[in-house]
Structure 1
Amino acid sequence: MASTATDGKQEPIPVDEAVVAPELPVEGEVEVPYSIYTNKEKWLIVAIVALAGFYSPLPANIYFPAIPTLARAFHQSVENINQTVTVYLVFQGISPMLWGPISDRYGRRLVYLVCLGILVASSIGLALCPTKHFWLLLFLRCFQSGGSASTIALGAGVIGDISTSRERGGYFGMFNLGPMLAPCIAPAMGGALSQGLGWRSIFWSIVIMVAVCLLCIALFLPETLRSIAGNGSIPVPPHLRAIVPIVGRKATMEAFDPDSCAKPKHSVNPFVLFTYPDVIVLLTFTGIVYAVNYTITATISSAFAKIYPQLSETVLGLCYLPVGAGMIIGSTLTGKMLDREYSRIQARSGDKFTIEHARLRIMPFYLGLFIVCVIGWGWTIQAKAHIALPLVLGVFLGWTSIGILNTTMTLNIDILQSRSSGATACTNLVRCSLAAILISVIDRMTSEWGDGWTYTFWGGICMLLLPLMLLEIRMGPVWRRKREAAEKEVADRDAA
């Protein structure tokens, strides 16, 4: 049994919690904290990585309104220009599989600086791209995606470094606001920039915004990888230090955690995670929900332009904002709910506590409401209802989709805490791949079946996810303990 301090008293921690997020050893009268950072410092770190995460989907979504303009400028068909969207999604799924494991081994700061540097350089190239070289547009979009996509995996890694399972839901909920808000805000930005200043201004705006984020990370973000910095109290090499160390300045040797600086003994190959049944269930759940939701958000402007022809490009971009508002509400509420449910179920369950049950208990509510909204969206669009109705549905779609994603991705980090960046990279690969597939067929489906039956079909697919959730609650702890026992046996054999 592990223990934690609450109001100066030692309380037992249930066996399963000790497996998921073990407390650090107590030396003498001083308990070694999991992280030396104060609550305010942790929120500052989360705010910085959430800002970086905002730039993962931004280059894809800010680009959408300019596609017709780019087709004319490069003398290509819209279908050919859409290839730049496809290659972006492909590299968005692949690149975190490289950068995530590297950050799990060599540190977060360095990989952040490299990835954002690539994003800035490729965006400058796109802003200056000659219109007679379409191949160069495709090539640079690959690099732009490769630089931006990994910021989500890196941010998840940072949150895993500084937070325990008890508090992780709130931090991850706030972090996820960055990546989830971009698809809602970016189209309005892209439409206004393209219409007012031309398509090149879109890429120059990305350069300016990302350069500011890059500067914030270089100045303020500390190295958090536990195999390098421990709980934040271990001095790191000069090239991994924040230029202005405003975070963690109150560190003392009493907070030193020697055990947390041990080198990780697991493989950095993220593809091995696809052999874990509990991880596969979570990836399937997350990927399908994300892909279905992405088909709706990616087609809002085209669907509205068809049934509300009086709307301008700028107004069409503004129609994404209700979804963003729903995401803000959902992210805030879900984070607090996850932390509250964790503490409540832990206190009630005692030694029978499992992290899977604590995290997924609220999932039927979110999934049921999401399915209703997906089906309602399809029939609302097909019926050409008043614009207020799909906008209201957009709020609930944003709320429920981010609630589901926050829940499953938080659990994924809980069960793979030492490989949090690699785990999030796998999530990114699955959801981007499924989104690319669905985007490629959604127009054909709506043309053949109509919007109503198309989204009824996808709502039915989402309904089939409920048994997967129940399977994860029941079998997830068994699979996880078996995996952790096997890994411990290998580690003990290697140590001997």
Structure 2
Amino acid sequence: MAHARQTLHNSVTFPGAGGVVPHRLEEQRDNKQASEKPYSIYTRQEKWFIVMIASLAALFSPLTAMVYFPAIPTIASAFHTSIESINLSVTAYMILQGISPMFWGTMADSIGRRPIFLGCLLVLCFSCIGLALVPTSAYWLLMLLRCIQAAGSASTVALGAGVIGDIGTPAERGGFFGLFTLGPQVGPALGPIIGGVLADKLGWRSIFWFLCIMSATCFAFILTFLPETLRRLVGDGSVIPSPFYRPLVPIVGKGRVNRDAQKPPKPTLNNPLRLFFYLDVLNLLVFNAVLYAVFYAVNTTISTIFASKYPFLNEIDIGLCFLAIGGGMIISTVLSGRMLDADFRRTKARLVKKAEEDPEKRILPKDVTKEENFPIERARLRMIPIFTAIFILTCTGYGWTLQREVNIAVPLILQVIFGYTVVATMNGVQTLLIDLLPSQSSSITACNNVVRCSLGALIVSVVDLIVNAIGPGWTYVLLGGICLACSPMIWLAIWIGPRCRAKRRAGNTAA
């Protein structure tokens, strides 16, 4: 008996003896280290750098569309066709802008972000060369090359969203997405000005040479610096992929890779169309698409309405008018990202306090951010009803200021507010979509793109007819009314979101 007590004493006192207690202590230490393992090996500064590169690439999606608008009359004259015929290239561009990310985004979720980024930019670069050299007798070739251009440029937004899902935790994604959307918002602000100046000073072909040089530069930048981030290939970034996936100059994550890290399982190709059958996802996609379509209707009618209501404006002046709505969008990209992160922290702090005060300890404070416990819909959509209300009021007011031909400063100020609220709303919804399906962030962004571009193309094709029939005042009352009718979808998202997520978790567990 004494010998047994001595043996037990030795097992507790001397960890190296290999007893039961040391084994448990070692297991607890390993579990603690696993729980404290960071989501990504990259530092916060390195993450910002990666997001900045993605944002630069995403600039081309709206830039290639907006830089074309001021040159439409000149191109129509060069091709000896009507403006309506050239506008068909805009419609075709928007259709491909919506469809192509479904292909590229799905591929990026399977074979990697980096090769798809490079592929898209290569397609964009060569299509711009073709457009710069297209003969004016080949209108069909102009249409074809514009479609190819859209196929190359449009997917960069979905790819960038995928990168954010790879490297950012839910607490970081709001800020990252705010910086990321800075690139796509600069396009609508500067595109018309750049296009107008180039078309006026160097001719319309210079627009496509400019895009060719810019896309080639971005291609070289990504080839040199951007690492592969797809978690199915590199995990948290510590797994070394094949040389094809490595940057030429690995300046991020250097010295933190693990050569012995286990390679993630081979990726499978998921069908993005099945995402449309998730009720919470479909609800968010439709709501976001309605606001985007109204925004695009406002943006595409700026040139024609301002030219008719304020005839003292020349082409360059009208191009500068786009700075108002673009400026509001750029400001919103910075502030809305911080707001989303602050709302996440505020929601987390409230839940932690509630968990600490719960006598039954049904949820531990450290577990409040787990998917099954955290109300991510409330955290992301907390301010969206307010922004949507301001968006609707601004839209209707903007139409009537143009109808009454008030001082030009008034509609321009309303454009700033309009641009701010639409970006704040869309950023919140887009960040939530990534939170819902982070492993398919490129695919979900592609779905968002196809829905909103399809609806946007539909509204753009008829908005000029509506303005000519009932005037800008009643046109924007109509568009604002559509947004008002869709506003209950915000509360529907908060109500059905947790139920839909629980259903998906149960399905994944059963599988």
Q: Does TM-score exceed 0.5, indicating one fold? A: yes
Written as runs of structure 1 = structure 2, the 5 A alignment for 1:112-131 is 112-131=117-136
- Unaligned runs of 5+ residues in structure 1 are 1-24, 491-496
CA–CA separation in structure 2 for the residues paired with 1:206 and 1:336: 31
Distance 1:35 1:74, change over 3 A: same
Describe the superposition over 1:452-473 as per-residue Cα deviations: whole angstroms up to 9, x where unpaired. Answer: 1111111111112221110110
Other-structure match for 1:287: 289
Match among 341, 344, 350 for residue 342 of structure 1 = 344
Following superposition, the deviation at residue 353 of structure 1 comes to 3.2
Name the amino acid aligned to 2:88: Q
CA–CA separation in structure 1 for the residues paired with 2:267 and 2:508: 12
Other-structure match for 2:374: 353
Distance 1:252 1:62, change over 3 A: closer
Following superposition, the deviation at residue 208 of structure 1 comes to 0.8
* 1:231–1:257 CA contact under 8 A, matched in 2: no
- Unaligned runs of 5+ residues in structure 2 are 1-29, 353-367
Distance 1:205 1:234, change over 3 A: same
CA–CA separation in structure 1 for the residues paired with 2:311 and 2:284: 40
Other-structure match for 2:481: 460
* 1:26–1:32 CA contact under 8 A, matched in 2: no
Moved more, 29-38 or 77-86: 29-38
Written as runs of structure 1 = structure 2, the 5 A alignment for 1:187-336 is 187-253=192-258, 258=262, 261-264=264-267, 268-336=270-338
Following superposition, the deviation at residue 253 of structure 1 comes to 3.7
Which of the two has higher C-alpha Rg?
2
Written as runs of structure 1 = structure 2, the 5 A alignment for 1:134-153 is 134-153=139-158
Written as runs of structure 1 = structure 2, the 5 A alignment for 1:21-170 is 26=31, 28=33, 31-170=36-175
CA–CA separation in structure 2 for the residues paired with 1:30 and 1:486: 25
* 1:378–1:454 CA contact under 8 A, matched in 2: yes
Following superposition, the deviation at residue 257 of structure 1 comes to 6.7
User: Is the partner of 1:326 in helix, strand or coil?
Assistant: helix
Describe the superposition over 1:127-172 as per-residue Cα deviations: whole angstroms up to 9, x where unpaired. Answer: 0001111111011111100000100000000000000101100000
Following superposition, the deviation at residue 399 of structure 1 comes to 0.5
2:451 is the counterpart of 1:414: no
Following superposition, the deviation at residue 331 of structure 1 comes to 1.2
Other-structure match for 2:445: 424
- Number of residue pairs the alignment of both structures matches: 463
* 2:234–2:241 CA contact under 8 A, matched in 1: yes
User: Is the partner of 2:61 in helix, strand or coil?
Assistant: coil
Distance 1:206 1:29, change over 3 A: closer
Name the amino acid aligned to 2:509: K
Distance 1:475 1:186, change over 3 A: same
CA–CA separation in structure 1 for the residues paired with 2:267 and 2:31: 21
2:405 is the counterpart of 1:402: no
Identity score, percent: 51
RMSD between aligned alpha carbons?
1.6
Describe the superposition over 1:263-295 as per-residue Cα deviations: whole angstroms up to 9, x where unpaired. Answer: 456x51111100000001110111000110111
Moved more, 342-351 or 108-117: 342-351
Distance 1:230 1:29, change over 3 A: closer
Other-structure match for 1:12: none
Match among 490, 502, 510 for residue 469 of structure 1 = 490
Distance 1:30 1:364, change over 3 A: closer
CA–CA separation in structure 2 for the residues paired with 1:201 and 1:383: 38
Other-structure match for 1:20: none
Name the amino acid aligned to 1:288: V
Following superposition, the deviation at residue 28 of structure 1 comes to 4.4
Match among 468, 483, 486 for residue 447 of structure 1 = 468
Following superposition, the deviation at residue 38 of structure 1 comes to 0.6
* 1:305–1:311 CA contact under 8 A, matched in 2: yes
